[in-house]
Chain A
Amino acid sequence: MKTALVVALTAAAGFSTQALAQAKEQFVPVNSYWVGPYAPGGSGIAGGMIDYFKLLNARDGGINGVKMTWEKCETEYRNDRGVECYERSKNKGPTGATLIHPLSTGITYSLIDKGTADKIPIVSIGYGRTDASDGRVFPYVFPLMTNYWSQNTAKIKFIGMKEGGMDKLKGKKIVNLYHDSAYGKETIPILETQAKMYGFTVTHIAVPHPGNEQQAQWLQIRQVKPDWVILRGWGVMNPTALKAAAKIGFPRDHIIGVWWSGAEEDVIPAGDAAKGYIAAGFNAPGANHVVIKEIQKHVYAKGQGEMEDKSRVGSIYYNRGVQWGILTTEAVRTAQERFGKGKPMTGEQVRWGLENLNIDDKRLKELGAVGFMQPLKVSCMDHEGGGAVKFQQWDGTQWKVLTDWIASDQSIVRPMVEASAAQYAQEKGITRRDCSTEK
């Protein structure tokens, strides 16, 4: 039986690496998760991204005639499966994988070395390694849009706005309720720095994975009597927190979630307890955007949509996936402008495209994504690009956008990013690139 298995696996690997000979195709691996506790996020984002690729293929015939192709791979949100998916997909298509969306902070960490060696950009939009924003140390890693630290400064800014000015933050109490993982802990140092700057006190309270038991934590919160609670949750932890808050009577409109705590799937299970809850986001909710309507017209009207449950089109996770699709294809388009229109791009060329990505208001309009996502300009120094956050409030049936894009405070974030990246560079023996010589 063992031999049969080995033979079968050998055959599998042999067949799957046969490339399609120089077809005009751009291959993007869609490594995501359709099973397990985080499946709502994984399936929504993957669906949105694929639907956007389908839209480009159906409406424009791809990017300057280069068709988008993709292949799905199940990672189960596990690091080893994520690495396996990456290795499996990296040589497919005429030019190999265009770029990789690992869709998990853990997998991102595991792929940084491999992607850099294989010259395949690792794009982690709204998650992943914060200090990778320093493109001099991490040439192949792109935490696009907004990293966790930037988001955090925007959040404090938002609290300041609500309190009536940043000076009013003095003496306030904020609780940081976090998922006890690399993701959850990421913002502790920046909150400490900001607490010193603005004179508020911050209490960090950890919730062990998966977070469906939070009585002790909320009892502690009741003792602290904070003015605001920052909810840094993921998956089942979010509705549990909201329900627990309702139980002790903590006002929900003083709980601010991160963008992994602010989807429909996070609030609907909490029922009425979620009403008034505020969450950050880097993509707007709703199906009322031009780009989503285009997808409905060109993809769903023909019955080719990726989502089985069509009501999820326009949900937070779905829209986020569409946004990732836009960023992916725009990076390829930028690369094509330099390396040859109508040609499939390699990972190395797309890396250049990502680094020179510039989506301004005019381009957003052409994409039909004004208000759907923020303008973005990436550079060799700054692999983040955007840095602004919108805040939205759950009214019991849908997310309502509360604010315009709130910019983050890069004067705090950037020095910390650079210090952390410098430490990484020193540990790994990396020499920083000189951005003035990059073309």
Chain B
Amino acid sequence: MLYREAGQFKSTYAEDQQIFPIRQDRIALAVFLAFALLAVPLIGNQYWLGALLTPFLIFSLAALGLNILTGYAGQLSLGTAAFMAVGAFMAYNFVLRVPGIPILLAFVLAGICAAAVGIVFGLPSLRIKGFYLAVATLACQFFVLWALQKFGWFSNHSTSGVITAQQIVILGYAFDTPARKYLLTLGVVAVMALAAKNLMRSETGRAFMAVRDMDVAASVIGIPMMRTKLLAFAVSSFYCGVAGALHAFCYLGTVEPEAYSLDLSFRILFMIIIGGVGSILGSFLGAAFITLFPIFLNLASAWVNDFLGVEISHAVVSNLESVIFGGLIIFFLIVEPQGLARLWQITKEKLRLWPFPH
């Protein structure tokens, strides 16, 4: 009843081509963004902002990066964490070695470095596909971590190979509390998500999808294979690189190369599989599920303890969490193999008909 587009006429091309053609969507998004920007920092405490929302946003951005490559351009990658590591370490080095560099510029440059690495390791994609490409990007994962540990320059010759992110100051304003860091992260993620959404509607995005759906057909209709694939790697790695920089600067503060292990690459891959491959929204939903749900389970087990008044052994609870989490992943994949984003789409379609289904 509420969610209906009847009566919304498009009278210009611009209106017809806007990102959210339905007015209710636009209003909802504006309200949601306003809530996230204005209300959340006021009502959220440090735990919420610093330990839940900021990492959620950062991993959403990384998942978004992988989704551009895997979901839209169809190139399977296991190097996501390595690109994040490049972003984190290069942002640190730019701030350290270029005095007075604006921090956002350092983030962008770090992203570009990650993009360059992405292009190099994207080269095999011109020859190999699917699982074999995944193995080639696996090499990237190992090589980058090895290089970061091997060459002391990256960590400014820290004995343990650990970097400590510098303070974030933009135009004399220090981003030092969890609320401010959250706002900075939210700003960067919102802008980049909007850019991604737009990119995927453009000629470039359509070329990505054509390559994904059938690369022979795509090249027959004149899409340059090399440029498109490498561009997909570059854009994707750029997103991951910026996510890595945010991860170091806005979230953990001090990071070691091992934080960006293969394990993290897999987790980000799971985020897009559960959230929805080839969907911007899916990146966010998947990141929320993978980062927040285990914590929710952990908290829930504490309430169950309080509520029932029996103390279950902590080791059992910890293991049970993993069991429930794993079970839920299988459940979701069986019920909706196209991910949480698809569930949301179905809900929207149902809403348009509601309350008269016929």
Contact = CB atoms under 8 A, between A and B. Distances in A.
Contact of B149 (A106, A185, A429): A185
Contact of A43 (B162, B256, B315, B322): B315
A328 B303 CA distance: 28
B334 to A, nearest CB: 16
A12 interface: yes
A88 interface: yes
A80 B313 contact: no
Tier of interface size on chain A? 35 or more
Contacts of A73: 298
A168 interface: no
A180 B315 CA distance: 28
A16 interface: yes
Interface in A142-190: 180-183, 185-186, 188-189
Contacts of A90: 46-47
B162 A109 contact: yes
B169 to A, nearest CB: 11
Interface string B294-323: 111011101100000000011101110110
A72 B156 CA distance: 36
A8 B296 contact: yes
Contacts of B252: 79-80, 83, 110
Contacts of A106: 256, 258-259
Interface in A13-63: 13, 16-17, 33-35, 39, 43
B296 A5 contact: yes
A112 B303 contact: no
B159 A35 contact: no
Given A80-B55, A84-B295, A87-B50, A420 B315 contact: no
A434 interface: no
Contact of A110 (B52, B255, B319): B255
A9 B296 contact: yes
B159 A9 contact: no
B53 to A, nearest CB: 10
A427 B156 contact: yes
B199 to A, nearest CB: 26
Contacts of A81: 294-295
Nearest to B257: A182
Contact of B47 (A1, A88, A182): A88
Interface in A257-287: none
B161 interface: yes
B258 A427 contact: no
A424 interface: yes
A428 B52 contact: no
A74 interface: yes
A16 B299 contact: yes
A308 interface: yes
Contacts of B318: 33-35, 74, 76
A74 B322 CA distance: 11
Interface string B19-58: 0000000000000000000000000011110111001000
Nearest to A112: B254
A35 B322 contact: yes
Contacts of A105: 160, 256
- A interface SS class: helix
Nearest to A180: B149
A185 B259 contact: no
Contacts of A423: 156
A12 B303 contact: yes
A72 B299 CA distance: 11
B255 A12 contact: no
A89 B248 CA distance: 22
Interface string A397-439: 0000000000000000000000010011001110000000000
A369 B174 CA distance: 48
Interface residues of B, number: 51
A199 to B, nearest CB: 23
Contact of A34 (B46, B55, B296, B315): B315
Nearest to A428: B164
A180 B149 CA distance: 9
Contact of B296 (A12, A130, A189): A12
Contacts of A39: 315
Contacts of A131: 159
Contacts of A109: 162, 164, 254-256
A308 B313 contact: yes
A427 B256 contact: no
A225 interface: no
A84 B298 CA distance: 11
Nearest to A76: B318
A209 interface: yes
Contact of B314 (A34, A88, A180, A189): A34
Nearest to A420: B159
B202 interface: no
B164 A427 contact: yes
A2 interface: yes
A113 interface: yes
A182 B256 contact: yes
A76 to B, nearest CB: 8
Interface string B160-184: 1110101100000000100000000
B103 interface: no
Nearest to A16: B299
A114 interface: yes
B259 A88 contact: no
A110 B253 CA distance: 6
Contacts of A34: 314-315, 318-319
22 contacts: A5-B293, A5-B296, A12-B300, A35-B319, A35-B322, A72-B314, A73-B298, A79-B259, A83-B252, A84-B51, A84-B295, A105-B256, A106-B256, A106-B259, A110-B252, A112-B254, A114-B253, A117-B176, A131-B159, A182-B256, A182-B258, A183-B160
Chain A to chain B: the 10 pairs with minimum beta-carbon distance, closest first: A87-B51, A182-B160, A109-B254, A34-B315, A113-B253, A34-B318, A182-B256, A84-B51, A87-B47, A110-B252
Interface of B: 45-48, 50-52, 55, 96, 149, 156, 159-162, 164, 166-167, 176, 251-259, 261, 285, 288, 291-296, 298-300, 302-303, 313-315, 317-319, 321-322, 343
Given A209-B258, A428-B167, 6 more contacts: A9-B296, A79-B252, A83-B251, A84-B52, A131-B159, A180-B149
